[in-house]
Amino acid sequence: MIDFNKYEILTFDCYGTLIDWEGGILTALKPVFVNHNINLNDNQILELYAEFESEIEKGEFIKYKEVLREIMQKFGNRLGFTPSSFEKDCLVNSLGDWKPFPDTVEALQALKKKFKLAIISNIDDDLFALSAKHLIVKFDYVITAEQVKSYKPSLENFKFAIDKMGIAPEKILHIAQSIYHDIIPAKALGLSSVWVNRKKDKEGSGATPSATSQPDFEVPNLKTLVHIMNLDLK
């Protein structure tokens, strides 16, 4: 058990940790595939998404809106269809409607009573602003890929966040669902980390590339983390 009292700031990944991005991705993509008579199961869709997104983000930096449009083009190239302009924008246009997990908002409200909260996310500033309305809690710091001009798992995103928050790394606890995007780079910089294993007992690796690492602590959801910290959800 780690000593949670030694941390001053909790940093969070957003999509996949706080926001149910897999549900949002599937809701946006399934009508496109139906329109083109393509039959894929949820795992196949999400794992292709993970492949395409990570490939694009390794290249020259472009805003996340363009990443999402290029993902749609890659789906078309791989599956043999030409996405319309409307279909190319389906992920961008849907992102503001992606909802938090059921435990997210109450957990953030409870954690906010004791800690400063920050976001470190592979997103554009204006797209996160749409998601922030669903999260309700005001974050003390928001660090986006647009600000850094790179995407996690780059160490630059975490270095930028540490500099912006102006606090020693040992006072930061990073909380995230993706081993690939978050736990591995956080550990490389000496940050403590909590893995929110929302895929536990579910098939497939989902919308994040498969990776392995050893976080400092693992929980199935944020509600469990709040209870372990002995904080009230109300």
- Which residues belong to the active site? 13
Q: Please, is 185 exposed, middle or buried when counting C-beta atoms within 10 Å of its C-beta (0-12, 13-18, 19+)?
A: buried
Helix and strand numbers (H, E) in the chain are 11, 6
Structure tokens at 18: 């706080």
DSSP characters for 174-188? EEES-IIIIIHHHHH
Q: Is 178 helix (H, G, I), strand (E, B) or coil?
A: coil
**Cα–Cα distance measured from residue 26 to residue 91, given in angstroms and rounded to the nearest whole number:** 10
From residue 76, how far is each of 57, 80, 147, 198 by CA, in Å?
A: 18, 5, 30, 29
**Cα–Cα distance measured from residue 79 to residue 91, given in angstroms and rounded to the nearest whole number:** 17
118: which strand partners? 11, 141
Residue position matching structure tokens 């008579």: 37
Structure tokens at 136: 């309700």
